[in-house]
């Protein structure tokens, strides 16, 4: 990879949702920038963190600066990061005053990897003011070599567009006379959670996820981006980075993704497969049977999810091959990637033709799946 490791791979996503042409252009730009930042000579954990920082800093995306606002008009962010070796994990939920939540999630991962002198079990997740207090403690410490979380004033995370969308939809929520047409765009269709997946020969697979959550969510609501096994997953067969590996980052409706443990289920089924079923079939089965049909039974007409999956497979001759998979139930999902064969980052807004061209709702599973050789 240019300016980095020749055997490293990175892919990022800008969320599953509805990307118009104008929005799609901005999103593709920042996704390419995220891949370029990650192509520096970092191991995979730092690759996904650095890529996600770029995504969090751009107001075109729903993470960090520019996050969707809560019912009270404030920003509350969720983020997680995971590395396959040892399956180390760290996450934050409902944090209101950290510039890059993914960096705080990594700080929790690093903290949790060290033995406690009293034998206390270290946390996987910190939320709200507890997360902010930990961020302040880490930022003032001289003992860590990892990037330090930066605390900021909560209003500084509110972008003009996020405020405009809040004002528009809050007024509609408060207006007893407002009733949205059945097929009109709604706040749940906006691009959601962002994330990254990577593989590096030093530490194998890693994944990250970051989100501002649903527009007008209740304060304190924690989505899939903070939950172990829901928003991201990284794993190696036998915990050996030389073996088959997966890294997965998920976007969509958080409550459903949490209940489905979507990232973990996708990752574990791919790793546990004996080679008789390819990732396409695994993704199709999980999104159709375990996700779409399951939540339609509960009255959700269009369960929303998007999966970015990086797989590293080993053939019978011991040769490794890396592929990128993207699957989603929404009209669009934006992704970008870079690899030894594609050192210049490539970004694309994938569009589901059946959904984008449809003028009516359907109870049939609307799942788009594609594979990209890296």
With the C-alpha atoms ordered 30, 158, 153, 197, is the resulting torsion angle positive or negative?
negative
pLDDT at res. 180: 80
CA nearest neighbour of 351 among 366, 336, 330: 330
**pLDDT at site 145:** 67
* CA separation for the pair 190, 217 (Å, rounded): 13
Q: Count of alpha carbons within 13 Å of 336, Cβ hemisphere only?
A: 29
Q: Give the pLDDT confidence of 79-132 residue by residue, as tens digits.
A: 999 999 999 999 999 999 999 999 999 999 999 999 999 999 999 999 999 999
Q: Report the C-alpha gap between 124 and 20 in whole angstroms.
A: 37
pLDDT at 18: 85
Positions of E strands within 103-244: 125-127, 194-200, 204-211, 232-236
Residues forming beta bridges with residue 326, ordered by sequence position: 308, 370
Q: How far apart are CA 212 and CA 202, in angstroms?
A: 31
- What distance lies between CA 73 and its chain's CA centroid? 23
Output the pTM of the full model. 0.94
Fold assignment, 9-373: 3.60.20
pLDDT (0 to 100) of residue 3: 54
Residue 169, SS3? helix
What per-residue confidence (pLDDT) applies to 352?
Answer: 85
H or E element in which residue 89 lies: strand 88-95
- Residues 6 or more apart in contact with residue 298 via CB below 8 angstroms: none
How far is Cα 156 from Cα 57, in angstroms, rounded to an integer? 12
CA 254 centroid distance within chain: 11
Largest interatomic CA distance in the chain: 67
pLDDT of the residue at 266: 98
> Do 102 and 208 form a contact (C-beta atoms < 8 A)?
yes
User: For position 190, what pLDDT does the model report?
Assistant: 59
Q: What is each CA distance from 4 to 34, 210, 341, in whole angstroms?
A: 14, 24, 13
Annotated catalytic residues are 193
> Residue 359: its pLDDT value, please?
45
Q: Which residues contact 338 (CB under 8 A, 6 or more apart)?
A: 1, 9, 10, 11, 35, 36, 38, 39, 344, 345, 346
Q: Which of 350, 56, 368 is nearest to 225 (CA)?
A: 56
> Tens of pLDDT along 285-305?
999 999 999 999 998 888 899
How far apart are alpha carbons 346 and 3 in whole angstroms?
16
Closest CA to 147 of 40, 225, 9: 40
Crossing angle (nearest 10°) for helices 44-57 and 21-38: 150
| Cα torsion angle, 161, 163, 166, 170, sign | negative
pLDDT of the chain, 374 residues: tens digit per residue: 545 566 899 999 999 988 877 777 899 999 999 999 998 778 999 999 999 999 999 999 999 999 999 999 999 999 999 999 999 999 999 999 999 999 999 999 999 999 999 999 999 999 999 999 999 999 998 776 667 999 999 999 999 999 999 999 999 999 999 988 765 555 555 557 999 999 999 999 999 999 999 999 999 999 999 999 999 999 999 989 889 999 999 999 999 999 999 999 999 999 987 666 789 999 999 999 999 999 999 988 888 999 999 999 988 888 999 999 999 999 999 999 999 999 999 999 999 886 655 544 556 778 999 999 88
Q: Calculate the alpha carbon distances from 2 to 39, 270, 351 in Å.
A: 7, 30, 29
- Helical spans, DSSP H, in 205-350: 254-260, 262-272, 279-285, 293-296
CA R_g for the chain: 19
Q: If residue 54 lies in a helix (H) or strand (E), which one and from where to where?
A: helix 44-57
Mean per-residue pLDDT over the chain, rounded: 91
């Amino acid at each position: 990879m240019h300016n980095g490791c020749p055997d490293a791979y990175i892919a990022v996503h800008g969320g599953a949702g509805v990307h118009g042409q104008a929005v799609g252009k901005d999103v593709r730009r920042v996704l390419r920038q995220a891949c370029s930042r990650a192509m520096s000579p970092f191991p995979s954990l730092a690759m996904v963190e650095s890529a996600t920082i770029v995504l969090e800093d751009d107001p075109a995306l729903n993470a960090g600066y520019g996050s969707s606002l809560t019912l009270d008009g404030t920003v509350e962010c969720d983020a997680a990061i995971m590395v396959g070796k040892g399956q180390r994990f760290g996450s934050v939920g409902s944090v209101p005053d950290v510039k890059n939540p993914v960096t705080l999630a990594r700080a929790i991962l690093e903290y949790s990897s060290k033995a406690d002198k009293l034998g206390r079990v270290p946390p996987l997740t910190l939320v709200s003011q507890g997360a902010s207090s930990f961020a302040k403690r880490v930022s003032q410490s001289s003992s860590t070599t990892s990037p330090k979380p930066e605390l900021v004033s909560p209003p500084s995370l509110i972008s003009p567009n996020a405020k405009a969308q809040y004002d528009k939809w809050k007024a509609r929520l408060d207006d007893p006379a407002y009733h949205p047409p059945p097929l009109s765009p709604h706040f749940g269709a906006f691009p959601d959670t962002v994330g990254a997946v990577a593989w590096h020969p030093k530490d194998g697979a890693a994944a990250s996820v970051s989100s501002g959550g649903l527009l007008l969510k209740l304060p304190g609501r924690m989505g899939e981006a903070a939950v172990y096994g829901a928003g991201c997953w990284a794993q190696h067969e036998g915990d050996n980075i030389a073996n088959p590996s997966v890294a997965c980052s998920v976007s969509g409706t958080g409550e459903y993704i949490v209940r489905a443990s979507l990232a973990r289920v996708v990752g574990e089924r791919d790793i546990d497969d004996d080679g008789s079923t390819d990732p396409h079939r695994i993704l199709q089965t999980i999104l159709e049977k375990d996700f779409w049909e399951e939540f339609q039974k509960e009255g959700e007409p269009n369960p929303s999810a998007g999966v970015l999956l990086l797989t590293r497979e080993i053939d019978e001759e011991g040769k490794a091959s890396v592929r990128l998979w993207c699957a989603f139930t929404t009209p669009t999902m934006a992704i970008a990637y870079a690899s030894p064969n594609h050192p210049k980052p490539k970004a694309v807004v994938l569009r589901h033709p059946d959904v984008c061209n449809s003028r009516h709702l359907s109870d049939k599973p609307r799942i788009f799946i594609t594979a990209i050789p890296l």
